[in-house]
Every structure is written in structure tokens, then in C-alpha cells.
Chain A
Amino acid sequence: MAPLKAEEYPKPYRPYGADIKETRPYSPCRAACPAHTDVQAYVGLIAQGRYNEAFEVITSVNPIASVCSMICHHPCEQACRRCAIDEPLAVRHLKRFAIEKSADYRRNKRRLVEKTKGKSVGIIGSGPSGLTAANDLANFGYNVTIYERHPVLGGMLASAIPPYRLPREVLKEDIDDVTAKGIEVRTNCEIGKDVKLKDLVGKHEAVLIAIGLSQSRSLNIPGAEGPGVMLAIPFLEDVAFDRKPKLGDKVLVIGGGNVAMDVARTARRLGVEDVSMVCLESAEEMPAWKWEVDEAIEEGIRINHRWGPKAVRREGDKVLGLEVVKVKSVFDQSGRFNPSFDNDVTTVLDADTIIITIGQMSDLSFLKDSSVKLDERGRVVWDPATQMSSARGVFVSGEVVTGPGSAIAAVANGHRAAIAVHLFCQGEGIEGRLPDQEKEKISQMPADVAGKIEREPRLAIKHIAPEVRCDSMVHFEIGYDEEEALKEAGRCRACGGGAVVDQKKCMACLTCMRVCPYGAPVVASVSEIRPEYCQACGLCSPECPAQAISMVSYDVREIRNTMHQIIGAIDQKRQEPVIAAFVCTHHVGVFGFDLPKNVRAVPVHCTSRIDILDMLKAFESGADGVAVVRCDNTICKYRGIEHRVSARVGRVKELLGMLKIGSDRVELLPVKSGNGGNPYASVCEDFSGRIKQIGLRQSK
């Protein structure tokens, strides 16, 4: 296949409403994501069974989406407004589901991108930041070369994150997406050793240093040097590249961060039964994510809190244990990390192997005597406004300059660096043109709104049992099946996806204010629908007499505009009636749209969104009957919509009566799910039988 032109590939995917979303406060999930992934859009698409589109939304801002679907620390979930109701949405796990579902689609769309810029960029490092920049610059049409010291791409994702958290074939999917664009990959190539930085500077129009923090910090305590004591990163690298590290029977991990968790849990999976950890912090103070800690404890790992390492006890080459001293406090009064100790209280923790996991730093030795300046503490001097180092044309991104953070934060910084490099290569100014990370977001859900929303606990993510999962490096988390994913996606309140008033059309009639179950609209000179209240049920839009209300997350006219195609050509000799069945995707999705053949499913994300005009359009398109199949009140996502929907059906009955088409050709059919079978199909079948008795519509 011919490579696509840079400007046509990849058109950044714009879900419906993308432009208007930019003009309004972000949903908190999106604001919290460093890459500003439009969570509301893709979760909404998942809930409607539109998985490929969900994939597009995700990957439009995140080239390591598969990786993030496994290991992201999901700040979106911590920010989820559903926390005010019950529990946050399982966003990361839904992402995993969507990505797994769209695997074929994704592989089929990998393409070369034409190199139109005639300029080349060298990227040192292929972790999240370098990979993102490579992806973006390839999209812009540059010749991109990645230099990676390891035999495979991925940086720490490939060399340090243990496979039980991130299976390598998952990482490969992301990398294949990027390299398919036509990127030169030079693995096993260490800058400073295999090639010199100045050669790269001479060869490429711009160079990006994205080397991350790939060196472990060590501890300056007696006994730390010598056999039986190792550093985290070399240990994890050994595991990653199948160089079995030698461990004893009692492994002690020093550190309380996420890498320490990786190290301890990896040691468990290497057959060590007795793995313990020691950290300065209490359980509450530990920097590791709580879920990581919980999972580690499940796996039998013990954590010794509030002890500081003092000396490694050893007899020659043999480690006996770690002498530790009691921690008085970890942070000083101004909240800075500044541990103090009670030197009178010490103990010895038994261990024959100690792994030090107290933080990482960059290996910047290749920058010695180069034009890239380091500061007095040995860090790269850079300008965050331009992402440039002190050397013109040499850019920096990711943890090497931002310090330790998350993969997705490195992605965000990689995007920024790619824009900077692009502007530089085009001879344009950079300052003031790089995207701002901070976004205004919708405020917390008001208590009265939260009170109106059905409690619906988060669908727990299943894990392989600890006694089984510790036997191997197999990924321990079990993905949602389709039914679970649709159910979980349906919990999303679609923050930021709700109603917007066209101020030029609104004449302040108060209708929206009267119909809204959540008190979102306030009407002054015109209506304003407050996003912190709006639940995007869509009830108001079809009620607005001036058609002044649209929805951010979907096209209110979509059903009407596509009804002819949905109904299709009407066979004048048909035996069975043609039925248009409006079915709620929140629940029918779980059953699939497995409806009788003569029933045309019109998926709608809650019957609250159906307009009288949509129903009329079905009749206009030749339907013999229209069924509005709505979920029973006990499962409806939006309470308080049923009367309006019923009134609309009543109005259509009245109009059909006027036209002498027959008012009983439209019905509102509530469905109780959970009685086994597919209740949506059976009510449609019954209705179809009734319409057949009434007779088929004849056209002249």
C-alpha cells in the first residue's frame, strides 16, 4: 500500500463535540490526565459498543495506549466525579477492554507516513517520551531515527517494568504502531559509546534527549558494597532480558515507592517465598500506590514501616541482614522530605539478599564535554518554555528533565517536545506556542445532584489468585468481558458531554429548567446549563421549542438524519411489518442488538434523548410501527425521565391519529432485564405481532 501523505495521516481523530469541548471546562478525568485523554468520549463510545472509535479517541493523544491500559496510575479515576456518588469509574480497565476489542482494526490501519519535511530528527531513548515524540514527528513528516541502548524499544517499559504488570506483547502493539510509520530504529546503540552526541547533532536537524531515569540510586551505608546487595534497575533489567538474577531465600527490598513494589513482587515471582520490604514511611505516607501495596501484601510480602537503613550486616560475601533505625518523622513541618531518626531504637531485619530501590537518576556521562550544559547538581539545563537544552537544536523531554513521574506524564511531555522540535525545524519561534498543561475543569458534583443518582458500585477488576500468580511472570489482571465492560462504561456520568444552549436561539422560555431532573439550567436573559449539574441525559434538547439546545457529546439530529438508512428500502410485498425499535444502548448493549429480522434497532443512549421528530421520521421512512423500548426504572441510568418520554410517545400518538395512520402504531415498552433471555427482543417480537394484526401501511 502506498504511504499516506503526512497531512492526511494521521488526521488527529476528533470525536463528536471535540471543538466545543475545547471552549468549555474539561471533565475532571480529562483535566487530570497529563495527555488530556478525552475519557468521557471514549467511555461513551465503549458504552455504545463503538470500540474502534473509542480506540481512535484514546490513541489520538496517547501512542502508548496499550501500555497505559495496563500500568497507568490513572489520575482520571482519582478525579472521577462519580467519587461523590459511590466509586470512580474503572477507566483504565475500560481502556484495556476497548484496545483489546479493536486489535484487528488497529493492526490493519498501520501505515507508512510520507516523509515530506526533508529534515531529520534523532531521538535518544525510546521510553514513553521518546516514543511519543517519534510518533508525532513521523506524523508531521520528518525522518525520525530512534537510538536505544537496549536490544528492544520501550525504555523502562521494556527493560524495567516487570512482565506480570506489562506483558511484552502488549508493549509491542504500541511500538509497532509507531514504527509502522517508517522510523529508523537503532537498538543496541548507546550514545557516548557506540555513537557520539556530536555526530548526531551533525547528522540531524534536531536531536531530542529522552533518556529517562535509568540508573538506580544507591545507599551510602556500611556494607552496601558487595555481593548480596543489588540495585533495583539492574535487577529488573536482568529479569526483563532473561538473565536470571541470583537471589537468596530471604529478600529484603529497601524503599516504599512503586519501583520497590515492582522489585519485591518480581522477587516473589522468581520463587522467593520470603520477601519483605523496609521503608521510612508509614503505610499512609508510602509513595507507592495503595493498590500496589494491597496486591503485594496479598502476595505475602511483608512491609516494615518507619525504619531507616543504617548498615548492611554481612560476614564476608554473605549478607546477614539490614540494621535499621527507627524513623521519628519523614517530612518536616513544611512538608518537605527530611527524615529524622531515633538513634536509640535500632533493630536488624534478617535477609540474605538486599535490593536497594530508593530512587533513580539519569546517566548523563555522554554529555560530558558536550555543548549541553549541566547544572551544579549534574542535571541538564533546559528551558521548559522551549524544551531546549543549552545547545541550539538539542531538545530534552521526559523524566530526564521533569524528574520521576508517570508514563503518561512523559507522553504529555513528549508531545510538547515534538511540537517544539517541529517549530524549530520550520524556523519558527517556540516560546509561548507549546500547549499548557493546566486546564480549567468542571467542579465537584453538587450533593443534591449526587443524591439523585443511583448507587452502582464499580465492577471489581479480577486478579489471578495470589497463590497462582506468584508462580510465574504471567499478567495477573483479568480483563472485563463485554458484558462487564458495557455495564461499567454505563456508570460514566458523561461529565462535560452535556447540554449547551445556543444563545442566539434561546428565548428564555424556561422549558429546559422545568424538565431537567438535575436542576442544571438557570435562565436569566437566556438559559445556561451548568456543566457541574448536567448529567448529559439529553432530556432537555428534544423539549426545547426553539431547538436551541444541542449536546456536546452527540449529535441530536443523528437519529433523524440516518433514519432512512436504518429503515432501508421498504418491500411493498413484505409479509412482516417493518418495526423501528428505539433501544437503550445502556442495557441492550449487554444483550447485543439481537432483535427479530423485521425490527430495525435504533440505538439510543437512553430513551430520554428521543425526539418526537425521530419517531415521526421513522414513520416518514416507511416504518409500520415504532417501539420505544425503555429500561425499567430500577435500571434506568437517569431517574425522572420516564414521564417526559411517555408524554412524547403520547404526542406522536396524537399526531398519527390526525394523519389517520393510527395512534396504536407507536408504543412505549418498558423492559425488565434480568429475567433471563433477551427481554428486548421479546417485547419487540410481541409488538411486531400486534402491528401485523393492525396491518401493514400501504403507500401510493
Chain B
Amino acid sequence: MIIGSQKPIEEIWDMVKDFKKVLVFGCNTCVAVCHAGGEKEAETIASLIRMRAAQEGKAMEVNHMGVMRHCEPEYFDPVLDEVRKYDLVLSTACGVGVNFLSERIGNVPVYPGINTSFYGAVEAPGRFVELCAGCGNCILHLTGGICPVARCSKTLMNGPCGGTNKGKCEVSQEIDCAWYLIVERMKKLGTLDRLSEVLPARNWSTSRDGGPRRVSLEHIREYEEREEKKVEQAGGKKQ
């Protein structure tokens, strides 16, 4: 799940202060689970902006709304006409949602209402932890289910480094040393010997280094494109 976190109100205020009619647009999936950008938080942010505007003596209309997801058009299409009535949409979706809506909304700017933090899990209510970096080439089967890409501060493939200290990372006492965890875990699984095999240098082109990524499922696309073409030939536009 994507974890987001709220931006300070002053940063938000700087973004929105010159607009007259602002919609704080919540996303009710990942960022709602982490209490950062669901409909409730959207309403909270709207309230804060209104109060901030009152402090400045600025007349501003600020409302809120929410849909299930900003990353699939079917969810926001039904309300898009309403959304377009605003001068600014402050989306509290993750960066994916902000980008995606921005491309489809037309001439209304879409600004980010939250920071997109990482892919994470709900460790405990109200506590979220990063466990995956989305590198595009998973090796968790080789590392005891613990990801060195996301969880080692240096993203080492053959750790630990000299900075490991009683299970903690030299970067911070708050950070567990991922390689310490990997070793301990593999001991438990009885697979420690596999670590004697050195992992080769990685091809990072599947990660951010290869530029923006796209996954296309041919078995689905083939059918969908055929359908789209049919509709196009009939002079319509796919809904």
C-alpha cells in the first residue's frame, strides 16, 4: 500500500493562497488507510485552509470531496464536471493520483495536498513502515524475505557493511540493519549457507534508472484495443 503523510499547513497555504475556489479532493484507498488523504482528511485540510484564509482576511471558497481512487478514471469520471468548477484541485491522493488526475482534468491545476512517502505496511494502528522500493526485479527469495533494496540504507546487495552495529544501522539507531535481519532470518530458516553465494551486480534498468516504467498486459490490451478501434470506427469515443 502507498503511504502518504500530511504537508504542513503553511506549505499548503503557499500553494493555494492565490486561488478563489479550491477543492480538496480526497482519495479513499491507500492514503485513507494511513489517515493522510482520505475524505475525512480532505475535509480537515479544507477546514484548515478556510481558517488560514480567515486569518489573512482572504475570501476563498474551499470545499472537499472524495472518491475511491484517483488512479483509475472510472472512479473520478462521474464527478469530473463538478471538480472542474474549481480554480484549483488540491488532491490528497498519492503522487500517482495527482499526476493521473492532472492529465485528465483539463485546464484546472491539480496540486499535491500530501507527500507520498513510500510503499509500506500497517505495522500497528497509526504506524507505517517502508518495506519495498518497487525496483522491478524482486529478489526476496534470496534474502530471507527482507528487502535490501528498500531496507538497507545503502541498498547493498551483499551486506552488511562495516556500519552495522548490534543490529542497527550507522545512519540512525532507529533503523534496523537490513543485512543483520537477513542473516538472522536465514539462520532461522536454515538457509544461511546460501549467503555464501555472491549476488552479481544488479541491472537497475528495471528500477527508476531505466526511466518511467509501464506494464502492459498483452492478453488484456489486445482485446481492449480491438474494442476501442470498433468504437472509434463507429464514430464514438470509448467511455
Q: In the complex, what distance in Å separates the CA atom of A544 from the CA atom of B38?
A: 9
Answer yes or no: B29 CB below 8 A from chain A CBs. Answer: yes
For residue B39, CB closer than 8 A to chain A, the reply is: yes
Question: In the complex the two chains form, is A700's CB within 8 Å of B56's CB?
Answer: yes
Q: Which of B43-51, B80-88, B170-178, B210-218 participates in binding chain A?
A: B43-51
Which residues from A are CB-within-8-Å of B50?
A: 620
Give bound CA distance, A504 to B74, whole Å: 13
Chain B's closest residue to A542 (CB) is: B40
**Pairwise interchain contact B44-A655, C-beta atoms closer than 8 A:** yes
How far is B66's CA from A250's CA once the two chains are assembled, in angstroms? Answer: 79
Main DSSP-derived SS at the B contact region = helix
Q: Is B52 an interface residue (CB 8 A)?
A: yes
Are B40's CB and A545's CB within 8 A? yes
Q: Is B190 an interface residue (CB 8 A)?
A: no
Chain B residues with CB below 8 A from A119, complex form: none
Q: How many A-B residue pairs have CB under 8 A?
A: 71
Contact with A along B1-35 (1 / 0, CB 8 A): 00000001110000000000000000011001101
CB-contact partner of A616 in B10, B48, B55, under 8 A: B48
Tell me if A314 is interfacial: C-beta within 8 Å of chain B.
Answer: no
The DSSP consensus for interface residues of chain A is loop
Residue contact A545 to B47, C-beta cutoff 8 Å: no
Contact B54 A507 (CB under 8 A): no
A582 within 8 A of B: no
Cross-interface CB contact of B54 among A510, A545, A700, cutoff 8 Å: A700
Q: Which residues of A contact B43 (CB under 8 A)?
A: 547, 613
Interface size class of A (residues with CB under 8 A): 20 to 34
Is the pair B51, A619 in contact by a Cβ cutoff of 8 Å?
A: yes
Q: Once the chains bind, are B29 and A507 in contact (CB under 8 Å)?
A: yes
Residues on the A chain within 8 Å of B9, using CB:
655, 658-659
Residue A505 interfacial (CB < 8 Å): yes
Is A297 an interface residue, CB under 8 A from the partner?
no
In this assembly, does A18 line the interface, its C-beta being within 8 Å of a C-beta of chain B? no
Q: B133 in the interface, Cβ–Cβ < 8 Å? A: no
CB distance from A503 to the nearest CB of B (A): 11
Q: Name the A residues within 8 Å of B106 (CB-CB).
A: none
Which chain B residues lie closer than 8 Å to A658 at the CB level? 8-10, 48
Min CB distance, A173 to chain B, in Å? 46
A699 at interface (Cβ–Cβ under 8 A)? yes
Chain A residues 104 to 149 lying within 8 A of chain B, measured CB to CB, are none
A509 touches B32 (CB 8 A): yes
Is B162 in contact with chain A by the CB < 8 A criterion?
no
B125 lies within 8 A of A620 (CB):
no
Q: In whole angstroms, how far apart are the Cα atoms of A504 and B28 in the complex?
A: 10
State which of B28, B39, B51, B56 has its C-beta within 8 Å of the C-beta of A661. B51
Q: Determine the chain B residues whose CB is within 8 A of the CB of A510 once the complex forms.
A: 125
Whether B8 lies near A514 (C-beta < 8 A) is no
Given A505, A514, A545, A659, which contacts B51 in the complex, CB threshold below 8 Å? Answer: A659
> Bound state CA distance, A617 and B32, in angstroms?
21
- How many angstroms from the CA of A659 to the CA of B12 in the assembled complex? 12
Residue of B nearest to A514 (CB): B125
A695 to chain B, nearest CB (A): 15
Interface assignment of A546: CB less than 8 Å from any CB of chain B: yes
Q: Verify if A612 is at the interface (C-beta below 8 Å from B).
A: yes
The distance from the CB of B215 to the nearest CB of chain A, in whole angstroms, is 23
Q: A546-B28, A659-B9 are in contact. Are A507 and B68 (CB under 8 A)?
A: yes
Q: Considering the chains assembled together, what is the distance between the CA atoms of A198 and B50 in angstroms?
A: 74
Give the docked Cα–Cα distance between A155 and B221 (Å).
78
Cα–Cα distance between A659 and B52 once the two chains are bound (Å): 7
Most chain B C-beta atoms within 10 Å of own C-beta, residue among A547, A619, A661: A547
Instruction: State whether A700 touches B55 (Cβ < 8 A).
Output: yes
Given A514-B125, A620-B54, verify A507-B44 contact (CB < 8 Å).
Answer: no
Contact assessment for B48 and A505 in the assembled complex, using a CB-CB cutoff below 8 Å: no
Inter-chain contact A507/B51, CB cutoff 8 Å? no
Contact of B51 with A620 in the complex, beta carbons under 8 Å: yes
Further contacts, 8 of them, CB under 8 A, given A544-B40, A546-B66: A507-B29, A514-B125, A545-B28, A547-B40, A655-B44, A655-B48, A658-B9, A699-B55
State the 9 A-B residue pairs at the shortest beta-carbon distance, nearest first: A700-B57, A545-B38, A545-B32, A546-B28, A509-B33, A616-B47, A547-B39, A658-B9, A546-B38
A-B contact pairs, 16 of them (CB 8 A): A504-B68, A507-B32, A507-B33, A507-B68, A544-B40, A545-B33, A546-B28, A546-B38, A613-B40, A616-B44, A658-B48, A659-B52, A659-B55, A699-B55, A700-B55, A700-B57
